Amino acid sequence: MKQFKMLLLSSMVILFTACGGGGSSVGTVPTNPDTPLDTNILPAANAGTDESVEIYQVVTITGIGTDTDGTIISYEWKKESTVLATTASFDYIPTAVGTDILTLTVMDDDGGTASDSMYISVTEASLSPVSLTLMSVLNNDVRETSGLANVNGKIYTHNDSGGSNLLYEINPSTGDVIRSITVNGATNVDWEDLAYDDTHIYIADIGNNLGSRTDLKIYKILKSDLDANNMVNAETISFSYADQSTFTYDPFTTPYDAEALIAYNGQLYVFTKNWESYMSKVYSIPTVPGNYEVTSVDENVLDVMVTGATMDGAENSVALVGYTNPNDINTPFKSMIVKLSDFTGDNFFSGSIAEYEIQNSLIVGQVEAILFNTASEFYLSTESVTVQSLELPAKLYKTEIIE
């Protein structure tokens, strides 16, 4: 970083200009008459190197403030006149193609400041597009479909928050409900996904839009019971997040919402839905009924909030589905499939991460669940929703991704 000084004898003001990625700005000393001008050495600001990203891609910005005769007490990031953050590091999501100039200003403990700018070149997204093929309009009994599972060739779904404690076997070709199965010992607070292994199916009662729940549960049911009966018994796996200490959030701001569950290598894994940063954390949970405090085993910032997950054990790959925050009027609504493969252990984000944007996302609607049908074909379900006064019924789609 280049720096230079200019001494103005008439005012005894020292100016510093710092360049971090092409921008430049000026440092100032305080004008407090009680502070001698020659007692404070100005801090230095480094906004970091320039970045090149795609539109709506999350990029972590990290600046550095240094002060040779004191400490840095504040950071402020601005884009033009808008304050973006007051921390050294933050996640930034560009919303328009072009060049964004972000300016970091730091202040030392004597009131001296320095600024530096960095440039972000924003290009069009290069996500691979996928189109969905409509399989059926779902029966109104499952208008809030939120999870999908395949048990012995039969497709099951359920409704989300406030629904009954029922699983539904559906005909994927017609959308009709074939059977309704009562789950004894279970309450539908906010059922959000289904997962299954060789012997059991798991219902994820993990929806938590407000981040206030202290009763998160996963219900465990024998697949053989589900296959043969219209009433089944459930065992309960209760859990809490070890790193959650706050249970009061503004609506749709919590990082502790979740709607996605898979079963893998004898464990259950929850992928969280972060309403603000799109950071999805992965928590490992035992399949044995009990009460657990669980910790995160992996995390990654994605381009959407995760609303569903599915596991292909034969191919050792995971597919997530999600959409952008519909409450953010500054970000056009889109949904996508994220396929994870070639990962190590349960570090699901350690391998290949391929994103596929769903075409005509607004018309498709609110995608809530995903299910591997084959290694390359997926079923996806959308719940009934109103988009710009247009009533969209719950639907079942399929799509194929050829890599």
Q: What is the pLDDT of residues 294-310, one digit of tens each?
A: 999 999 999 999 999 99
Q: Is the pLDDT of residue 56 over 70?
A: no
pLDDT tier at 58, thresholds 50, 70, 90: confident
Res 146 pLDDT > 70:
yes
- In the chain, the domains with their CATH numbers are 3-123 (2.60.40.10), 128-400 (2.115.10.20)
pTM beyond cutoff 0.75: no
Q: Look at residue 30 in the predicted model and tell me its pLDDT.
A: 56
Q: Please, which pLDDT band fits residue 95 given cuts at 50, 70 and 90?
A: confident
**345 Cα distance to chain centroid:** 21
24 or 166: which leads in pLDDT: 166
| Token digits of residue 120 | 């972000």
CB 63 within 8 A of CB 77: yes
pLDDT in tens, 376-400: 899 999 999 876 667 889 999 999 9
Report yes or no: 376 and 317 within 8 Å, Cβ to Cβ: no
Q: What tokens appear for 82 in the block?
A: 């808008």
**Closest C-alpha to 123, from 99, 106, 147:** 99
Contact status, residue 242 vs residue 285, Cβ threshold 8 Å: no
Please say whether the beta carbons of 202 and 268 come within 8 A: yes
At 278 the pLDDT is 92
Predicted pLDDT of residue 34: 56
d(CA 303, CA 322): 9
Distance (Å, rounded) from C-alpha 380 to C-alpha 101?
39
Report pLDDT for 32: 55
pLDDT of residue 29: 56
Contacts of 10 (CB under 8 A, 6+ apart): none
The secondary element (H helix, E strand) that includes residue 224 is: helix 223-228
The amino acid present at 313, given as its one-letter code, is G
